[in-house]
């Protein structure tokens, strides 16, 4: 589940908890909403910690330029 799915879980949980007053026998919708919000928050923290570990910046390497034995006097990339 990606970041978008976690945010959707948080939103659906908040709607069930705060914006509805439905009564279903045997189901506490407020509790279900709180559980969905908690699962969404756990998903967001897990996703962000994994994404932070993937952001490893590798410094660019400079290419090694060797002199061409077929062109004497060739010293740089501009022929001089």
pLDDT tier at 2, thresholds 50, 70, 90? confident
Q: Is residue 63, in this structure, part of any structural domain at all?
A: no
Cβ–Cβ under 8 Å, residues 67 and 41:
no
pLDDT 10s digits, 35-77: 999 999 999 999 988 877 766 666 777 776 666 666 665 555 5
Q: Is residue 60, in this structure, part of any structural domain at all?
A: no
Number of separate domains in the chain:
1
Q: Is residue 59, in this structure, part of any structural domain at all?
A: no
Q: Is residue 31, in this structure, part of any structural domain at all?
A: yes
Q: What is the pTM of this model?
A: 0.63
Cβ–Cβ under 8 Å, residues 14 and 38:
no
Q: Is residue 17, in this structure, part of any structural domain at all?
A: yes
Domain that holds residue 48: 3-52
């Amino acid at each position: 589940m990606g970041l978008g799915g976690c945010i959707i879980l948080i939103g659906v949980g908040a709607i069930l908890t705060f914006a509805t007053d439905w009564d279903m026998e045997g189901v506490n919708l407020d509790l279900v909403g709180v559980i969905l919000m908690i699962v969404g928050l756990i998903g967001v923290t897990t996703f962000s910690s994994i994404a932070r570990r993937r952001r490893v910046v590798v410094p660019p390497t400079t290419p090694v330029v060797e002199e061409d034995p077929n062109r004497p006097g060739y010293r740089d990339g501009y022929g001089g």
